[in-house]
């Protein structure tokens, strides 16, 4: 499970209606991190309370926030799940990505993949799954189904940062940054509608508000 590093923001609270819907109606767009899933199940069993509603696109039922909460409740036998419906294509909702950073030398990572030396990164993000860099040299990685999972299976652990600028700063500490383009909202909806998912931490959604927590006992969710 990768560690996320992002700037904390103060957001205004927005009260919205909570809908309890059939859990099978929701559509994920990202694969799960098995460890994160198990940790949520453990937390739910220990605390006995469900706090945070799902954030869901009101038109497609695609999950925008809460994949592991959804999967955990489903695994535990819940039939209904609390959701807040949002208009995904509202311009206030932003879609970015996470940038993986690895505490390893660039040359060692290049041994795992077919790659091409590049003159920079900006104009190559559309062409390659990742452009990886040590801050001085840049290489495009040719498509592999899941580059990040492949590296993790080699025993490496990633950090995930929220901007390219932060990722490039990390290279000053001898780390390798993995740069990629952000998806479009249309790509997210289309992928989920085909019952397909992106790799974990491919999307990073930004919402202009924070939403109220719930206090629902586990026994009420799972009966």
Report the chain's C-alpha Rg in angstroms.
19
- C-alpha 192/C-alpha 93 separation (Å) is 18
Please pick, among 4, 9, 10, 30, the residue that the annotation labels catalytic.
Answer: 30
- C-alpha 134/C-alpha 160 separation (Å) is 16
Neighbours of 95 (CB within 10 A): 16
- C-alpha 198/C-alpha 149 separation (Å) is 12
- C-alpha 175/C-alpha 35 separation (Å) is 24
- C-alpha 81/C-alpha 221 separation (Å) is 8
- Phi-psi sector, 208: left (phi>0), alpha (psi -120 to 50), beta: alpha
Residue 159: active-site member: no
> Which residues are catalytic, by number?
30
């Amino acid at each position: 499970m990768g560690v996320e590093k992002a700037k904390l923001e103060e957001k205004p609270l927005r009260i919205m209606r909570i809908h309890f819907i059939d859990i099978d109606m929701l559509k994920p767009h990202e694969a799960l991190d098995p460890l994160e899933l198990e940790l949520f199940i453990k937390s739910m069993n220990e605390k006995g309370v469900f706090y945070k509603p799902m954030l869901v696109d009101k038109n497609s039922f695609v999950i925008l926030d809460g994949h592991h909460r959804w999967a955990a409740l489903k695994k535990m036998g819940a039939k209904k799940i609390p959701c807040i419906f949002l208009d995904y294509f509202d311009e206030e909702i932003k879609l970015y990505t996470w940038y993986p950073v690895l505490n390893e030398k660039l040359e060692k990572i290049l041994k795992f993949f077919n790659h091409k030396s590049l003159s920079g990164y900006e104009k190559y993000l559309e062409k390659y799954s990742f452009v990886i860099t040590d801050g001085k040299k840049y290489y495009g990685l040719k498509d592999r189904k899941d580059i990040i999972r492949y590296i993790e299976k080699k025993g490496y652990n990633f950090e995930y940062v929220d901007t390219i600028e932060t990722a490039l700063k990390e290279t000053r500490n001898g780390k390798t940054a993995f740069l990629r383009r952000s998806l479009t909202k249309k790509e997210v909806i289309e992928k989920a509608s085909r019952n397909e998912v992106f790799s974990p931490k491919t999307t990073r959604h930004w919402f202009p508000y924070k939403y109220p927590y719930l206090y629902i006992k586990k026994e009420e969710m799972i009966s």
